Amino acid sequence: VELEDGEVLPADVVVIGAGVLPNTGFLEGVSLDKNGAICTGPLLNAEAVPNLYAAGDVCAYPSVQTGSRVRVEHWNVATQQGRVAAKNMLGQFIPFTTTPFFWSDLFGKSLRFVGHAPTALDSVIIEGDVSGMEFVSYYTEDDEIKAVATVSRDPVAVACAELMRRGRMP
């Protein structure tokens, strides 16, 4: 990889995550976050326009895990948000409390991520064999695990997702 200043960084593989920009410029009177996503409450309705609901890449919602507003760009979260938003439109009034969980398979290895780590956290605890591509990374803040990434350790990711859902993650 060659940088703008001419420095060359050697790499066997380069992965690019391009990201998504919400298409919300046409909305009037709706609170948007710094990235242009609709600011919602826990029911996924817009704070400034309560009859407008948001789900997916366009939704910035209050996370029960972090206590702050987050936006998760993954189809699994979008699907779960869509279900909750639809129920709320029908008058069920269910808060969105799902812990983000997403995955991919790269070069024959499974990658799983659960939780939310919006910034550089206090520390990362690694358990397993990194060079052998079979490990777990625990991302901590204030002595509490906020997120977990696994490579080829799927059962650990699933167990951590359940612990986070129950509010019992150490």
The reported pLDDT for the residue numbered 32 is 95
pLDDT at 89 over 90: yes
- Torsion angles phi and psi, residue 85, rounded to 5: -60, -40
Q: Check: pTM over 0.75? Answer yes or no.
A: yes
Q: Which residues contact 109 (CB under 8 A, 6 or more apart)?
A: 133, 151, 152
| Contact (CB, 8 A) for 156 and 150 | yes
pLDDT in tens, 9-53: 888 777 666 667 888 989 999 999 999 999 999 999 998 899 999
Q: What is the mean pLDDT of the chain?
A: 90
* Token couple for 148: 């977990």
Domains of the chain from N-terminus onward: 1-98 (3.50.50.60), 101-165 (3.30.390.30)
Residue 96's CB: how many other CB atoms inside 10 A? 22
